[in-house]
Amino acid sequence: MPREQLPDTSGNDVHDLLIVGGGINGCGIARDAVGRGLSVVLAEKGDLAGATSSSSTKLFHGGLRYLEYFEFRLVREALIERETLLRAMPHISWPMRFVLPYHKDMRFESDTPTSKLLSLFMPWMKGRRPAWLIRLGLFLYDHLGGRKILPGTSTVSLTDTPEGAPLHPRFAKAYEYSDCWVEDSRLVVLNARDAEARGATILTRAAVVSAQVQDGIWHVTVKTETETKILRAKILVNAAGPWVGDIIHSKLRLNSAEKVRLVRGSHIVTRKLYDHDKCYFFQGADGRIIFAIPYEQDFTLIGTTDAEHADPATVPVCSDEERDYLCDFASEYFKRPVTADDVVWSYSGVRPLYDDGASSATAATRDYTLKIDQSAGAPVLNVFGGKITTYRRLAESALEKIGTVLALDKGRWTAGVALPGGDFAHDGVVDLVEGLHRDYPFLTDFWSRRLVRAYGTEAREILGTAASAQDLGRDFGATLTEAEVKWMMAREHARTPEDVLWRRSKLGLRLEPRQVEALADWMAGHAASEARAAE
């Protein structure tokens, strides 16, 4: 069946890249590409980080458990990246210590290559991760990535210590190692902002309807809330996450043997379960692991699950079964049982993993795969999989492939280059918070810390010359003010209360329904006023 003839677009600019998808991979590639002299436009059908990239476990980590699958290259790359990223975004990423309780009688079921080897050569170890194996894994974790900033592994007592206080007394010792926290959706927004500042065009609420090639150029039909337009580009980058397969087959109409495996990961958030600032790494009887992590100052984040997810069009939600699984899993370790009544929020995201034929969702590779397809007459780069920790390296790898088709002005450049607000020392957060509190004494400790952790050095631009909270305009609750919302709308592509409360921040945990409604009314009025002023 012939495709419809496109209207004449000869007067339109031809971009070097058109990137489909405003998650971390798409925005990371956009930033890297525009910094190398390419003209870039990015189209995201919803909000930035609107799907997978705002639904992670919020960790920059090497992936300790991936060592059991012998994914040494992936772990090494991720371990190296932790410290590279810490230096570039110290406001939204910071070191954390992880406590791994050990119990010599703990047994589990697992189909990892490591457990199979143990069963073959040491059958008495079947169903158990022995202490020596854990120590070996942590030794590799400490040394594979050339660690410089983060402290190494140590052994800690769980008897009469803060780390042991919330746990069952049967756990007497633990191993403690380093990984890092990251504000995932803010990471996406900051990459998009930096790409935009360097010349990229970022379009949100802009869905790709169709695409075809004419004279070696991609002509991509994009529908926004107000118009349908055709964008032209030499290369199309398919970074659509869970929808990567849909873009290949239904939008580009390409025959491809590459497949994506959708795996749902669900999380629960409870009121704070313990008083220290360390995370827990818990091993389950089913061979899986979960984390319990201090979250947003007053909460605890627990996750994640691994479950097959059939259709990207189905919105992922944390099912009652997954919630109960996480509660029961955590209760095997915490002295006070975690129940459904403790849960104040849950969320779920779909990981678009490369389908490597693994036997289970847990065993599927977390590594990324990049494939260039030129069968349509113009190149498309399809992005499969990836981890938030290695997004920057994924972008570099993508540009290496793009560089075989287009000339690049320069080579790799993003390592160590600060994201917006991150232009301060990796250990400078305390000084920044204290300085903000000193110069704006009306800020509470919570408020000062929240602003620094979201905006870094740019927090002062939001506060401006304010001498009181009233100078920041309307108070929407939980320290969210008119001045901050205006910043999000003008600088960060926020359009709805959900964008503000659940992706640009997590203040949705603190606002009441009436406050959310008031915010929605104000944002609608402000957007209408801005639109009239622009006419």
Q: In this structure, is residue 361 part of a structural domain?
A: no
CATH number (domain holding residue 287): 3.30.9.10
Q: Are residues 165 and 191 in the same domain?
A: no
Q: How far apart are CA 509 and CA 298, in angstroms?
A: 10
Same domain? For 172 and 270 the reply is yes
Extended beta strands in 24-73, E state = 40-43, 59-60
What is the pLDDT at residue 105?
A: 65
Q: Is residue 249 part of a domain?
A: yes
Domain extent for 19: 14-51+186-259+366-402
The whole-number pLDDT of residue 125 equals 38
The pLDDT confidence band at residue 81, using thresholds 50, 70 and 90, is very high
> Does residue 305 have a cis bond before it (omega within 30 degrees)?
no
Residue 58 placed within a domain: no
* 168 and 266 assigned to the same domain: yes
Max CA-CA distance within the chain? Answer: 76
User: Between these two residues, 1 and 193, which has the higher pLDDT value?
Assistant: 193
The percent of residues in the chain predicted with pLDDT above 70, rounded, is 91
Tell me how far apart the alpha carbons of residues 90 and 112 are, in angstroms, rounded to a whole number: 35
Is 115 found in the same domain as 27? no
Question: pLDDT band at 469, cuts 50/70/90?
Answer: very high
Q: Is residue 306 part of a domain?
A: yes
102 with 145, same domain?
Answer: yes
* Statement to judge: residues 276 and 339 lie in one domain: yes
Domain count along the chain: 3
**Do 148 and 176 have their domain in common?**
yes
Q: Compare 329 and 359 and report the one with higher pLDDT.
A: 329
Same domain, 130 and 266: yes
11 falls in which pLDDT band (50, 70, 90)?
Answer: very low
Residue 292 lies in a domain: yes
pLDDT on residue 482: 98
174 lies in the same domain as 291: yes
- 299: β partners: 271, 295
158 closest CA partner among 101, 88, 203, 108:
101
- Averaged over 156-185, what is the pLDDT? 96
Phi, then psi, of 212 in degrees rounded to 5:
-150, 165
Distance CA 23, CA 34 (A): 17
CATH number at residue 241: 3.50.50.60
Q: What is the CA radius of gyration of the chain?
A: 24
Is 0.75 topped by the overall pTM? yes
Sign of CA dihedral 108, 68, 415, 241: negative
Predicted local confidence at residue 63, as pLDDT:
79
Mean pLDDT over 195-220 rounds to: 97
Shared domain for 176 and 190, answered yes or no, is no
Q: Is residue 295 part of a domain?
A: yes
Task: Judge if 178 and 191 occupy the same domain.
Answer: no
Assign 470 a pLDDT band (cuts: 50, 70, 90). Answer: very high
Residues 274 and 176 in one domain: yes
Is the distance from CB of 199 to CB of 39 less than 8 angstroms? Answer: yes
Query: What confidence tens digit (pLDDT) does each residue in 274-318 have?
Result: 999 999 999 888 878 899 999 999 999 999 998 999 899 999 999
List of long-range contacts for 414-417, beta carbons under 8 Å, 24+ apart: 414/31, 414/32, 414/35, 414/88, 415/84, 415/88, 416/84, 416/87, 416/88, 417/88
